[in-house]
Structure 1
Amino acid sequence: MTQGPERGVAYDFWWRVRTDQGARGWTDEELRARTGIARTTVDRLRGGKRPPTARVVNALADALDIDLTEAHRLAGRTPAPPAAFADEEGAPRMSAREAILRDPAYTDQQRRAMLELLDIFEQANRSRQS
């Protein structure tokens, strides 16, 4: 019995990107030109073991007019709902990423910049822990 390709954590985002790209009639080259994201990077979303960086999600979402919060959720970048986390008083907590995505005071440009900085910090912390 043959199995299809493994679905990665960002499979739903990959599917949305490919669907929206097809609906616009864009080739892979046109998508790459509009986003600066390589075709192989987009293809890796299908079976990737980790969520893509905020820069990748933001660039694809911007080009395809996908809501940023939805794009990050589909890409596996949004944490569990805040109700799953509570402080000592039982008040819901949320991650910095979720707070950035949910705060209506930020423009999309500010949100993208903050998510990119958060990615840099998280990557530095992972490197130090290895």
Structure 2
Amino acid sequence: MANIKSQIKRIKTNLKAQERNRAVKSELKTVIRAARTAIASGDKTAAVAAVATAGRRIDKAVSKGVIHKNQGANRKSAIAAQAAALSGEAKVEKKAPAKATKAPAKAATKAPAKTAAKAPAKKPAAK
């Protein structure tokens, strides 16, 4: 056990945070499991509701710092992909926007050279 008072306090707060994080992670697992079972059952309305709930809980965990934002994005996209497969939606690839034709740019004209400024007079050397 630590001897320093501030370190003892820090240990207590870390234990509280650890319990809170453990509870949030457990809840995430439960919600994701519920979403996957709803998707597996084939009920679209229940699956959509479960996926929405899971997405909200994942976002909340990310904002609280319980899980990393990339992990949250990966979990959400995995559930969304399963839900999309259930509804029979094929992945829609985004088309690149049509590029507007532009007139060719004129060659940049060089600015006339500036005349060199006179160098300041040298100070006499100290004796």
Specify the structure having the higher radius of gyration (Cα).
2
Normalization by structure 1: what TM-score? 0.25
Higher relative contact order (CA 8 A, sep 6+): 1
